Amino acid sequence: MVRLRPYRSCDAKYIVTWISSEEEFVKWCANLITYPFTEESMNKIQESFENNEKGWLFTAIDKKGTPIGFMSMSKADYENDSVHLGFIIVDSSKRSSGFGKQMINQAIKYAFEILNVSRVTLKVFDNNSTAHYCYQNVGFVDEKYMEKEFPYKDEMWGCYCMAIQK
């Protein structure tokens, strides 16, 4: 079972261990944070959200209360009835165990029932097929595909824009 709670700075020590390479890091944050990934990086994310009235950070915890995932909700648009998920990550030792699906389902429930929005969006790179499949599995649909959208070293990555409706 997965629960979501507000992110706390003490969660950073867990989250920074879940990424093992620069490429994995870039797939996670799309270079919105500087590599290498450190607890200071997480503190900067937290600081940027502290004064953001349209965004929140969440930590997913297991039944013992140990952090096993992290995500943000941002771009809350109450006029257009939507919110965006980002920075989605699951503990690398817990992947492929259903925790990501549970975490996303909890986020959708929060968005629909607590924020009372009717639409949740996210983006995922086309070379992150496991995440793409997870999002499809919980009901997100591809709305737009942007080919060669993101430069990484000598590659160009495509990106799926996905959404789920209430």
Q: What tens digit of pLDDT does each residue of 56-91 get?
A: 999 999 999 999 999 999 999 999 999 999 999 999
Q: How many domains does the chain have?
A: 1
Does residue 157 lie in a domain region? no
Name residue, tokens 């004064």: 51
* Mean pLDDT estimate for the chain: 96
Q: What is the pLDDT of residue 74?
A: 97
Answer yes or no: is pLDDT of 24 > 90: yes
What CA–CA distance (Å, rounded) separates 41 from 43?
A: 5
Q: For residue 135, is it left (φ>0), alpha (ψ between -120 and 50) or beta?
A: alpha
Does residue 124 lie in a domain region? no
Confidence band for 146, pLDDT divided at 50, 70 and 90: very high
Does residue 153 lie in a domain region? no
Query: Average of pLDDT values for 34-50?
Result: 92
The tokens for 92 are 């690398």
The more confident residue out of 12 and 1 is 12
Does residue 141 lie in a domain region? no
Q: Which one-letter amino acid corresponds to residue 69?
A: G
Q: How far apart are the first and last CA of the chain?
A: 23
| Cα-trace Rg, the chain | 15
b/e 117-138 (16+ beta carbons within 10 angstroms → b)? bebbbbbbbbebeebbebbeeb
Does residue 161 lie in a domain region? no
Q: What percent of the chain has pLDDT over 90?
A: 94
Q: What is the CATH number of the domain that holds 108?
A: 3.40.630.30
Answer yes or no: is pLDDT of 96 > 90: no
Domain extent for 109 = 3-117
Q: State the DSSP code for 110.
A: I
Does residue 111 lie in a domain region? yes
Does residue 144 lie in a domain region? no
Does residue 133 lie in a domain region? no
